[in-house]
């Protein structure tokens, strides 16, 4: 058996083992312990860069932004009026400037769709849509390519399906069912949890690190 096949089988086994342990765990601390157990610390999310978000954004807040003409009904930002600069705070101007510089202004509409739970035309913005769901309700999970990669591997049967999951760079309309399956799995293990929010954060930290390590090609038989 060649090394590549051995590595793929090792990845599948590791992912299955971690998912099984998460399903059995009863606390966020038990989940976080998996980061050390499976040597995922090198890819652990940097909380200085991504601190835990405590605030929420409600549908009513979005409605008020439309009334104030900050966004339109489709969720597009309308910072400038015909007469010039709107009455923005210095922080709002800075944040808008970052979005502009990174070319991310159009992504806001997907977050707004998530907050409103408007699932129309979200194929290209699934990550941001689900982030909007999280911002409106902390019982919703956050997703990204790394987390969904692990879920795809968990659900994969054929070697080719595992290879496809390893190689994904971003989520698109072909991954809608993959996202849905992950959210269904989350609901199945967290449905009755009193501390669902903290459990979701811990699961995200573990699977983000796992998926990122797989993507970088660091999870191999040689790494054990």
Same domain for 87 and 191? no
* 184-214: pLDDT as tens digits: 999 999 887 889 999 999 999 999 999 999 9
Task: Please tell me the predicted confidence (pLDDT) of residue 224.
Answer: 61
End residue of a domain, out of 109, 135, 161: 135
Task: Please tell me the predicted confidence (pLDDT) of residue 85.
Answer: 58
Is residue 24 in a domain?
A: yes
End residue of a domain, out of 135, 162, 178: 135
Is residue 7 in a domain?
A: yes
Average pLDDT over residues 84-95: 78
Is residue 54 in a domain?
A: no
Report how far apart the first and last C-alpha atoms of the chain are (Å, whole number).
18
Same domain for 121 and 156? no
Torsion of CA 203, 205, 210, 214, to 10 degrees: 130
Q: What percent of the chain has pLDDT over 90?
A: 68
Same domain for 130 and 154? no
Same domain for 123 and 174? no
Is the pLDDT confidence value at 222 over 80? Answer: no
Q: What percent of the chain has pLDDT over 70?
A: 93
Is residue 115 in a domain?
A: yes
* Domain encompassing residue 94: 59-135
Same domain for 161 and 186? yes
Is residue 163 in a domain?
A: yes
Is residue 13 in a domain?
A: yes
Same domain for 28 and 76? no
Same domain for 109 and 127? yes
Is residue 63 in a domain?
A: yes
Q: Interhelix angle for 3-24 vs 28-37, to 10°?
A: 160
Is residue 216 in a domain?
A: yes
In this prediction, residue 79 has a pLDDT band, given cuts at 50, 70 and 90, of low
In this prediction, residue 76 has a pLDDT band, given cuts at 50, 70 and 90, of confident
Same domain for 143 and 219? yes
Q: What is the pTM of this model?
A: 0.90
pLDDT, the chain, mean: 90
Is the pLDDT confidence value at 81 over 60? Answer: no
Same domain for 68 and 122? yes
Same domain for 217 and 142? yes
Tell me how many domains the chain contains.
2
End residue of a domain, out of 135, 154, 189: 135
Same domain for 205 and 170? yes
* 144-174: pLDDT as tens digits: 999 999 999 999 999 999 999 999 998 988 8
Neighbours of 224 (CB within 10 A): 9
* 48-71: pLDDT as tens digits: 999 999 999 999 999 998 888 888
* 121-138: pLDDT as tens digits: 888 899 999 999 999 999
Average pLDDT over residues 84-94: 77
Task: Please tell me the predicted confidence (pLDDT) of residue 82.
Answer: 46
Q: 3-class secondary structure for the chain?
A: CCHHHHHHHHHHHHHHHHHHHHHHCCCHHHHHHHHHHCCCHHHCCCCCCCCCCCCCCCHHHHHHHHHCCCECCCCCECCEECCEECCCCHHHHHHHHHHHHHCCHHHHHHHHHHHHCCCCCCHHHHHHHHHHHHHHCCCCCCCCHHHHHHHHHHHCCCHHHHHHHHHCCCCCHHHHHHHHHHHHHHHHHHCCCCCHHHHHHHHHHHHHHHHHHHHCCCCCHHHC
Task: Please tell me the predicted confidence (pLDDT) of residue 80.
Answer: 59
Same domain for 143 and 32? yes
């Amino acid at each position: 058996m060649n090394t590549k096949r051995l590595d793929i089988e090792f990845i599948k086994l590791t992912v299955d083992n971690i998912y099984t342990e998460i399903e059995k765990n009863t606390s966020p601390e038990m989940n976080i312990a998996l980061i050390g157990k499976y040597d995922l610390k090198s890819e652990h999310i940097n909380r200085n860069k991504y601190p835990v978000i405590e605030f929420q954004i409600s549908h009513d807040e979005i409605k008020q932004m439309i009334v104030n003409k900050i966004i339109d009904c489709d969720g597009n930002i309308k910072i400038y009026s015909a007469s010039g600069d709107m009455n923005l705070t210095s922080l709002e101007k800075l944040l808008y400037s970052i979005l502009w510089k990174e070319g991310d202004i159009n992504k806001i509409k997907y977050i707004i769709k998530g907050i409103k739970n408007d699932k129309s035309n979200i194929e290209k913005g699934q990550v941001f849509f689900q982030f909007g769901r999280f911002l409106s309700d902390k019982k919703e999970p956050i997703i990204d390519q790394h987390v969904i990669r692990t879920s795809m591997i968990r659900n994969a049967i054929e070697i080719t399906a595992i290879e496809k999951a390893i190689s994904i760079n971003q989520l698109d309309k072909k991954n809608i069912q993959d996202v849905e399956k992950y959210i269904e799995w989350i609901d199945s293990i967290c449905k009755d949890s009193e501390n669902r929010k903290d459990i979701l954060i811990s699961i995200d930290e573990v699977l983000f690190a796992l998926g990122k390590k797989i993507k970088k090609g660091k999870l191999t038989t040689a790494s054990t």
